[in-house]
């Protein structure tokens, strides 16, 4: 009799966040990012998992929780999202989240040059961006 318990799928939000959204697993996260991003190697020297909740600035703002949000050594922001299926609103949701990653860095009187790069990685089984000439 086989007493092996079934493994939880890595592609589920819950398991994905346990693996990649936990500071204790930052070495796994760094290995993943090295395989998909072309950024300077020293950016991985200190990856810090941060609060994945995007702040609402008014009562009417959309509420959003990212799967994984982190800062690199230079405080660039990386957002990783896993979605098994691309829904009709996925493009709009991604643009909204990406724009919030930029605007949450700004405050009154802050210099525009303080804005750090924001990178979004979407992992999906579907085609999210159709392949084109570019």
pLDDT digits (tens, 9 = 90+) for 63-120: 888 999 999 999 999 999 998 888 888 889 999 999 999 988 887 788 888 899 999 9
Q: What is the tally of structural domains in the chain?
A: 1
Is 133 part of any domain? Answer: no
Q: Which domain covers residue 54, as residue numbers?
A: 13-124
Residue 134 has pLDDT above 70, yes or no: no
> Any idea what the CATH number is for the domain that residue 102 is in?
3.40.1350
Average pLDDT, the chain: 88
Residue 1 has pLDDT above 80, yes or no: no
pLDDT of residue 4: 82
Is 132 part of any domain? Answer: no
CB atoms near residue 43 (< 10 Å): 19
> Confidence band (pLDDT; 50, 70, 90) for 129?
confident
Is 52 part of any domain? Answer: yes
Q: Are 68 and 21 in contact (CB under 8 A)?
A: yes
Is 4 part of any domain? Answer: no
- The percent of residues above 90 in pLDDT, for the chain, comes to 53
Strand partners, 64: 54
- Tally DSSP H helices, then E strands, for the chain: 3, 6
**Digit-coded pLDDT (tens) for 37-72:** 999 999 999 999 999 988 888 888 888 889 999 999
Is 51 part of any domain? Answer: yes
- State the Cα–Cα distance between residues 93 and 24, nearest whole angstrom: 29
Mean pLDDT across the stretch 20-31?
94
* Nearest residue to 98 via CA among 64, 129, 123, 125: 64
Is 120 part of any domain? Answer: yes
Is 134 part of any domain? Answer: no
């Amino acid at each position: 009799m086989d007493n092996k318990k079934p493994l939880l799928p890595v592609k589920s939000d819950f398991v994905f966040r346990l693996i990649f959204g936990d500071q204790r697993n930052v070495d796994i996260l760094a290995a993943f990012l090295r395989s998909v991003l072309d950024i300077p190697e020293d950016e991985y020297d200190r990856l810090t998992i941060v609060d994945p909740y995007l702040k609402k600035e008014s009562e009417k703002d959309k509420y959003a929780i990212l799967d994984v949000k982190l800062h690199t050594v230079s405080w660039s922001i990386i957002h990783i999202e896993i979605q098994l299926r691309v829904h009709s609103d996925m493009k709009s949701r991604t643009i909204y989240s990406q724009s919030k990653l930029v605007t949450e860095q700004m405050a009154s009187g802050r210099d525009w040059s303080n804005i750090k790069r924001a990178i979004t990685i979407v992992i999906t089984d579907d085609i999210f961006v159709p392949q084109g000439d570019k």
